[in-house]
Amino acid sequence: MTCKKIMERSPLMYPAVRHMRSLDPVMIVTETESATAMFEKLLQVLLNAGWCPATECDKVLSQYKAFSLDVNTNHKAEFQEFVYSCRLDEFFGRYLSGKEEYAELWIIMKCLFMLSHGQAAVERGYSVNKDMLVENLQEKTLMAIMRSVHDAMAGHTDEALPKDLKQHCRGARTRYEMYLEDQKKLREQTTKEKKRKELCQEIQKVKTKRQKVMTSAETMEKEAHGSQARKGLLVRRKRWQLYTKP
């Protein structure tokens, strides 16, 4: 895939995604003016999409500017040392959640965080991965995942593995091949049964047609015998009339 194709399919092609860089804690304190300009463009995108009315956008922008000023004055070091592996909703929640002066800004930020995958707390329990887990995994694979043990261990290298566990792991490939062979036999058996069923249905159709033909032949034969009998009766009647005629 060429670089052009990658860029075409990248989320960065959407203006909203590019302007969401204004929510970068480091950018807020190092490039405050650029961050404010990008946030203003982001609000324009939300306004065009009908997510935020014009009056609300002005209020949110004012709160963003006030928040940026407060951060640069009182929390600059914390924002500069932001670790990108941390969740943005949790980080900004420390400074915005529960504060009346930033109420509208915090609402907009939570909506924007929902666009980023993985914000389970913001999504209030909704999880795409949870829905896909059951749909896209086979039953045995799902059961194997559920049986996995994630208990904390003092040290993985110092933990002694039981002999039966090692033997079980060594035979994993063999069991997998046996499973594939069983699945292959099952498919072949299903195919044979399907063909046998189709053949039985075809034989039944032939028998039904044969029965109809035989019934029609018997009916025609009876009609022919009846017609011949009536014809013979008429001949005998004419002969009798000739003999009895004076």
Q: What is the pLDDT of residues 108-124, one digit of tens each?
A: 888 888 776 544 444 44
Distance CA 120, CA 89 (A): 10
Among the listed ranges 6-20, 41-55, 138-152, which one has the minimum average pLDDT value? 138-152
* 233 belongs to a structural domain: no
Between vectors from CA 23 to CA 19 and to CA 26, what angle results, nearest 5°?
A: 115
Specify the number of domains making up the chain: 1
pTM (2 d.p.): 0.46
Confidence at 181, pLDDT banded by 50, 70, 90: very high
Confidence at 157, pLDDT banded by 50, 70, 90: low
- Nearest CA-CA partner of 56 in 15, 5, 108: 108
Between vectors from CA 193 to CA 190 and to CA 196, what angle results, nearest 5°?
A: 150
* 124 belongs to a structural domain: no
With contact defined as beta carbons under 8 Å apart, do 89 and 121 qualify? yes
pLDDT at residue 121, as a whole number: 45
Distance CA 40, CA 60 (A): 9
Distance CA 101, CA 144 (A): 50
* 143 belongs to a structural domain: no
For residue 98, is it left (φ>0), alpha (ψ between -120 and 50) or beta?
Answer: left
- Nearest CA-CA partner of 49 in 134, 130, 136, 108: 108
Distance CA 53, CA 44 (A): 10
pLDDT at residue 184, as a whole number: 92
Distance CA 58, CA 70 (A): 18
pLDDT at residue 143, as a whole number: 64
Residue type, 70: D
* 61 belongs to a structural domain: yes
pLDDT above 70: residue 44: yes
Residue 22, CA atoms < 13 Å, CB-side half-sphere:
27
- Nearest CA-CA partner of 21 in 41, 7, 38: 38
What is the phi/psi pair of residue 128, to 5°? -65, -40
146 CA to centre of own chain? 20
Cα of first residue to Cα of last residue in the chain, in angstroms, is: 116
* 83 belongs to a structural domain: yes
* 218 belongs to a structural domain: no
* 23 belongs to a structural domain: yes
Beta carbons within 8 Å of 27's beta carbon, 6+ residues apart: 21, 34, 35
Burial (CB count <10 Å: 0-12, 13-18, 19+), residue 39: buried
Distance CA 123, CA 127 (A): 8
Overall average pLDDT of the 138-152 stretch:
58
3-state secondary structure of 173: helix
Confidence at 169, pLDDT banded by 50, 70, 90: confident
Residue 90: domain span: 7-113
* 142 belongs to a structural domain: no
